[in-house]
Chains A and B, each alone.
Chain A
């Protein structure tokens, strides 16, 4: 079946602009995660959604970052007033259900470059 998809695959933007990154999880998966992969920081957790529960936003680096998940499916990560340090690959993952031993399936990522 179809895996996790993300769009766009690449995004170049100017410092100060807002960007939206989209994630389509695997159909039927209830849990959705966003991670960021950068040269200096490695792979970092950003945010987690599960059903109608309040999201775990503990990994968001600043209030310029926000995310939502509509209808328990598609998720959008928004970065306002982008900075050069936001340049990274943003990875989305989903799992069938929540749980520490559940496999997270990753999308191909969105490569963001802030000039």
Chain B
């Protein structure tokens, strides 16, 4: 079965520092991968998605992610953190054979001034 693992339930960085949120997937076939962000008391908003067109995917708000098949990873990065980036981030994979997303446990990102 396909699944995703997010390393670190809580990540804290200083404003202006690099943001790195880790996601590893398990899949027997090339997956479709997504990163969503959830601000307090809101629904999920798509940051970016990998659909095999390019391994480096650029998303909204300056975020990007690189698909690395050899490492089964899809880590999310942003060169310079902003206070408004404080939120919870979810990595997800489309489940083969069924139309649904399987989510990781989420990583709460805190930005220190």
**Residue positions of A touching B, CB distance < 8 A:** 4, 31, 33, 35, 42-43, 45, 48, 50, 56, 58-59, 91, 93, 98-101, 103-109
Assembly CA distance A108 to B42 (angstroms): 5
Please pick, from A35, A100, A109, the residue contacting B99 in the complex, using a CB distance under 8 A: A100
Which residues in B have their C-beta under 8 angstroms from that of A35?
101
B42–A48 CB distance below 8 A: no
Q: Digit string of B28-60 for contact with A (CB within 8 Å is 1, else 0)?
A: 000010101000011111100101000000000
B45–A106 CB distance below 8 A: yes
Answer yes or no: B94 CB below 8 A from chain A CBs.
yes
A91–B101 CB distance below 8 A: no
B43–A45 CB distance below 8 A: no
- Tell me the B79-113 residues at the A interface (CB within 8 Å): 90, 92, 94-96, 98-106
Assembly CA distance A44 to B99 (angstroms): 13
A45–B101 CB distance below 8 A: yes
Which residues in A have their C-beta under 8 angstroms from that of B45?
106
Q: A43-B90, A43-B103, A56-B100 are in contact. Are A101 and B49 (CB under 8 A)?
A: yes
Assembly CA distance A105 to B103 (angstroms): 15
> Which of B32, B95, B98, B99 has the largest count of A CB atoms less than 10 A from its CB?
B99
A42–B103 CB distance below 8 A: yes
Shortest distance from the beta carbon of A9 to any chain B beta carbon, whole Å: 9
A101–B99 CB distance below 8 A: no
Q: A33-B100, A91-B43, A98-B99 are in contact. Are A42 and B106 (CB under 8 A)?
A: yes
A45–B102 CB distance below 8 A: yes
Please pick, from B43, B96, B100, B102, the residue contacting A106 in the complex, using a CB distance under 8 A: B43
B101–A104 CB distance below 8 A: yes
Which residues in B have their C-beta under 8 angstroms from that of A50?
99
With A56-B100, A105-B46, A106-B45 given, name 6 new contacts (CB 8 A). Answer: A31-B99, A43-B106, A91-B43, A100-B32, A100-B99, A101-B51
Assembly CA distance A42 to B46 (angstroms): 17
Q: A42-B103, A43-B90, A43-B103 are in contact. Are A56 and B98 (CB under 8 A)?
A: yes
